[in-house]
């Protein structure tokens, strides 16, 4: 899968459609500089990217990287119609085997002024509801005949809806089981971060043994439930230190740390400075 860090969001460039007769071939290209999203409505394409085969039957899609060689593995065996879309991003992106710890929890700046997030797109896949994507492409092409700032803006919105739909298609097919357990645990921990962490209560809530939950979170987020909730508490404490005048002892209680010394110790470990120094640095 490809992982995109946003903002900024990927931006739409241009789209179109093509029909290949039997024996037709997609053009061989190298390092075209843009991502190429291909959606086949009927027939089928047989593509390769480097050494990776990317067959695209009817009702499926393929996402080609901007920095690789793309070629046709074999010609079309039947008349083939497909939509194509070029896009690019100014943000970071890379190939990912698994979904790592969310960037907001890996923030290196002392205070995250912008909330970053990741989204993931599989390199290829079968569309569960292809008519929705086909309609979106038809609408994109129609907007392309209306050269106006409003039409361009609508194209960007529609493009982002397509990306969201592709990501939701993948989630519908189901992530790895351990990811689902880890994400459920993360939701629970964020909701109850002000309360003392109870592994037994977490296990009862998720209906899994606490050791299994810990292993799932370690594999998905790179930390245990305690490590996850501690980082989240620190992020909440940062916001309170900057945006309120609450005493630091009260902030320690409100963010679930329990004791003032433990809060100072955890905060300093994760942020690099003590809470009071952090507040002074980021308050005018």
Domain identity same for 115 and 187: no
The domain boundary residue, chosen from 125, 143, 173: 173
Q: How far apart are the first and last CA of the chain?
A: 43
Domain identity same for 84 and 154: yes
Domain identity same for 161 and 211: no
Query: E strand or H helix at 108, and its extent?
Result: none
Contact between 233 and 255 (Cβ < 8 Å): yes
* pLDDT tens digit sequence for 119-137: 888 899 999 889 999 999 9
Domain identity same for 122 and 191: no
> Domain of 201: which CATH number?
1.10.10.60
- CA dihedral (106, 164, 170, 202) in degrees, to 10, reads 50
Query: Measured between alpha carbons, how far is 19 from 30 in angstroms, rounded to an integer?
Result: 22
> Domain of 168: which CATH number?
2.60.120.280
Retrieve residue 2's tokens: 């490809």
DSSP state of 51: T
CB count within 10 Å of CB 49 equals 18
> What was the pLDDT predicted at 25?
92
* pLDDT tens digit sequence for 176-229: 788 889 889 999 999 999 999 999 999 999 999 999 999 998 888 888 999 999
Domain identity same for 13 and 151: yes
Pairing label, strands 35-42, 80-88: antiparallel
Average pLDDT, the chain: 88
Domain identity same for 131 and 236: no
pLDDT of residue 107 exceeding 50: no
pTM value is 0.62
Domain identity same for 165 and 227: no
Most confident of 112-116, 121-125, 199-203, 241-245: 199-203
* pLDDT tens digit sequence for 7-57: 889 999 999 999 999 999 998 999 899 999 999 999 999 999 988 999 999
Position 82 confidence tier, pLDDT thresholds 50, 70, 90: very high
Position 92 confidence tier, pLDDT thresholds 50, 70, 90: confident
Split into its structural domains, the chain has a count of 2
Domain identity same for 75 and 9: yes
Domain identity same for 65 and 168: yes
pLDDT of residue 234 exceeding 90: yes
Retrieve residue 265's tokens: 């110790």
> What was the pLDDT predicted at 117?
72
Position 104 confidence tier, pLDDT thresholds 50, 70, 90: very low
The domain boundary residue, chosen from 153, 173, 193: 173
**What's the whole-number mean pLDDT along residues 47-71?**
93
Domain identity same for 124 and 200: no
Domain identity same for 104 and 20: yes
Contact between 62 and 47 (Cβ < 8 Å): yes
The domain boundary residue, chosen from 173, 189, 213: 173
Query: E strand or H helix at 44, and its extent?
Result: strand 44-49
Q: Which domain holds residue 201?
A: 177-282
Retrieve residue 194's tokens: 């002000």
To the nearest 5 percent, what fractions of the chain are helix, strand and coil? 45, 25, 35
Domain identity same for 181 and 168: no
Contacts of 65-68 with C-beta under 8 Å, sequence gap 24+, read 65/2, 65/35, 66/31, 66/32, 66/33, 66/34, 66/35, 66/36, 67/31, 67/33, 68/30, 68/31
Query: Measured between alpha carbons, how far is 253 from 259 in angstroms, rounded to an integer?
Result: 7
Position 118 confidence tier, pLDDT thresholds 50, 70, 90: confident
């Amino acid at each position: 899968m490809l992982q995109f860090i946003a903002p900024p969001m990927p931006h739409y460039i241009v789209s179109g459609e093509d029909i290949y007769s039997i024996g037709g071939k997609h053009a061989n290209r190298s390092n075209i500089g843009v991502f190429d999203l291909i959606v086949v409505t009927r027939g089928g394409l047989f593509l390769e990217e480097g050494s990776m085969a990317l067959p695209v039957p009817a009702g499926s899609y393929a996402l080609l990287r901007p920095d690789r060689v793309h070629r046709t593995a074999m010609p079309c065996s039947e008349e083939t119609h497909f939509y194509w879309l070029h896009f690019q991003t100014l943000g970071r992106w890379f190939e990912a085997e698994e979904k790592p710890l969310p960037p907001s929890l890996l923030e290196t700046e002392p205070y995250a002024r912008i909330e970053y997030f990741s989204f993931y797109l599989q390199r290829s896949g079968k569309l569960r509801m292809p008519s929705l994507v086909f309609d979106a492409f038809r609408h994109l092409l129609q907007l392309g005949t209306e050269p106006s700032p409003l039409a361009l803006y609508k194209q960007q919105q529609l493009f982002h809806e397509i990306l969201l739909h592709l990501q939701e298609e993948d989630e519908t097919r189901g992530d790895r089981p351990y990811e689902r357990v880890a994400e459920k645990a993360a939701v629970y921990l964020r909701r109850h971060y002000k309360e003392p962490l109870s592994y037994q209560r977490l296990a009862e809530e998720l209906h899994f043994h606490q050791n299994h939950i810990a292993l799932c979170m370690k594999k998905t987020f790179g930390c245990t439930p305690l490590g996850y909730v501690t980082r989240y508490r620190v992020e909440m404490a940062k916001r309170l230190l900057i945006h309120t005048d609450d005493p630091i002892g009260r902030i320690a209680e409100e963010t679930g740390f329990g004791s003032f010394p433990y809060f100072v110790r955890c905060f300093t470990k994760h942020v690099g400075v003590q809470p009071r120094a952090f507040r002074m640095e980021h308050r005018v």
